[in-house]
Amino acid sequence: MSEAGVATKAPETDAQDNPTIPGDTPAQSGPSMGQHCTTDRPTPAGEAPKGEIRKLGGVDIYLAKPDEYPSNPSKLLLLLTGGTGLKSTNNQIQADKFAEEGYVVVMPDLFEGDPAPNAGATVPDPESQSSFLDMFKLKAAETAKSFLIDMWLARHTEEKVWPILEKVIHAAQGEFADAIGNGGGIYAVGYCFGGRYVLLLAAERPVAAQSGWTGAQKPADEESGEQAKKGPYIKAGALAHATLVSPDDFQGLKAPVSMVCVENDPLFPDEVRMAGEDIMSKENLEHEVQVYPGVPHGFGVFGDYDDPNIKEAQATAFMQMLDWIEEH
């Protein structure tokens, strides 16, 4: 991916071009680390979800609330997941972690019950591959999975995901008006697939560019020769190791943004990140970017690792995102 364009390949598409077996090794150089976008890490012992799955605006969500809510004021946080989706135990616990910090967390099902292929399986460790045959079988499976991932991404485009977000936000503005009012708006965090949508929610964009606009009637601004715009939908956002991001996604940003990035990440190339930083700086947008070396793509999502350096980085990334939304 040499162009400063969108990282359009599926998380596993490049796996067949790189012989590295995915696992805990922090310094892996190949795109095979994209498996962390669609596959859960083992859940640490003693951890279990505390929230509930229910409907909000006709959309399935995982809802996590502070123990003292609503007697004590809270703020509303939208959590957008990677491909593992709504029913991932790790994603649910991630939502709980933010709830413990005083946020009503709404985690919508961005995929309408269709998480990424093999989501829910654990990432194998390199040591578990006992023979060359085992390694060959794994690579063949990855090649097949890359095709399934491409098909999955084709089913979950912005045109499909954006209306889901609009429904959830509209419903939340009614049911959780107290939390939104207390925070002065909605906050958002996103991981992998969900990271790009934090950028879109943080932007002011032409109505025509948003899939929720039907075009049945021209808005007043358009009648007068001006292009109608909507957004931003959030007060502040934080994203970790986003995927499928292009430099254009940084255009029109209005809400402050914090980014957790991975060094040499093929799913969020340096040229895309640097182009984004340049756009945000030129637009005087308040932002921060932290690049974490020696960790795999997807490290910020809750889950267990054998490598203590990755564990520490995961905790640091969580605090980076938490501190950012608390400061805004």
Q: What is the mean pLDDT of the chain?
A: 84
Rounded to 5°, angle at Cα 83 from 192 and 184 = 55
| 216 vs 249, more confident | 249
* CA gap 94, 49 in Å, rounded: 9
The closest alpha carbon to 142, from 40, 235, 11, 258, belongs to: 11
CA distance 232 to 222: 19
Q: What share of the chain is helix, strand, coil (3-state, %, to 5)?
A: 40, 15, 45
Reported as a single tens digit per residue, the pLDDT across 168-187 is 999 999 999 999 999 999 99
The CATH number of the domain covering residues in 13-215+225-327 = 3.40.50.1820
Q: What is residue 320's predicted lDDT score, i.e. its pLDDT?
A: 98
> Does residue 198 register a pLDDT over 90?
yes
pLDDT at 164 over 90: yes
pTM for the complete prediction? 0.82
- Cα–chain-centroid distance for residue 142? 22
pLDDT of residue 273: 97
Q: d(Cα 152, Cα 10) in Å, to the nearest integer?
A: 9
Start-to-end C-alpha separation, the chain: 35
E strand or H helix that includes residue 120: none
Name the residue ranges covered by the structural domains of the chain: 13-215+225-327
